[in-house]
Structure formats: structure tokens, C-alpha cells
Amino acid sequence: QVQLVESGGGLVQDGGSLRLSCSASGRTFSSNAMGWFRQAPGKEREIVSYITGNGGSTYYADSVKGRFAISRDNAKNTLYLQMNSLKPEDTAVYYCAGRILITSWLLTDQRGYTYWGQGTQVTVSS
């Protein structure tokens, strides 16, 4: 059974930092792209960042560019998201996702991801 388990969320003040982790089990994602998505109350889930299997290519949404950094440790089958200079508008449930199929969906499109974690809440207070 494949599982993705996020951790590291919490409550932080405006300007603070958090590091999210996503631990995968049941299969390796070392050859596959993985991503972080988030969903704020009353809004649709959106892409935050993704990283390709070998880590050679990354993407960041404009809203987090320069503040967030995605990385992965394939030996540990773990995905990370370092979040700095957090803002109240970053408040959301953050999900990690793993993509295993070759599809026509862009890596920014959640429909291309097969496996999802349960989410971790990030709350940034002003």
C-alpha cells in the first residue's frame, strides 16, 4: 500500500519559517516527479511547487517564488518544502503528491498526480 505522510505544519507568525516533510512508503518515487499543493479555505487546491525525479528541474508558483524551496532525498524517499518569510495568505492545508504515470497533464496540474498525502495545516498569523 502506497502512503504519503506529510509533517511539519503548524502555527507560525508572519515572517516565520516552517519545513514540511513528506515521507513515502510502499513504493519508491525516485524516478517520478513530486509536488506540493495547497488549499486555502473557500479556494481550490493549487500548485505550490514540483520537482522532477532526479531533482534537476523545479517549479514554483509566482506567489511563493523566492520564499519557498523544494527538495528531495531519494535515499530516504522523502520530499521537503522549506517555507521562509511566511505570510498570512500562505495559510492553507498543504498536500504532497506523487506522479507515477506518463500523462498529458502538466506537472502543475493536480490531475496528473496519482498519490496524495492527507495534508498538513499551515497557519500564519498576522
Q: Residue 46 corresponds to which cell in the numbers above?
A: 493549487
Split at pLDDT 50, 70, 90, the class of 94 is very high
Determine if residue 66 is left, alpha or beta; phi over 0 gives left, psi from -120 to 50 gives alpha, anything else beta.
left
Identity (one letter) of the amino acid at 41?
Answer: P
Sign of the torsion angle spanned by Cα atoms 41, 1, 100, 81: positive
Contact 66, 84 (CB under 8 A): no
Sign of the torsion angle spanned by Cα atoms 118, 4, 47, 70: positive
What is the DSSP-derived secondary structure letter of residue 55? S
Is residue 74's pLDDT more than 90?
yes
pLDDT mean over 12-39: 96
For cell 524551496, what's the residue? 69
> In terms of pLDDT, which residue wins out, 13 or 53?
13
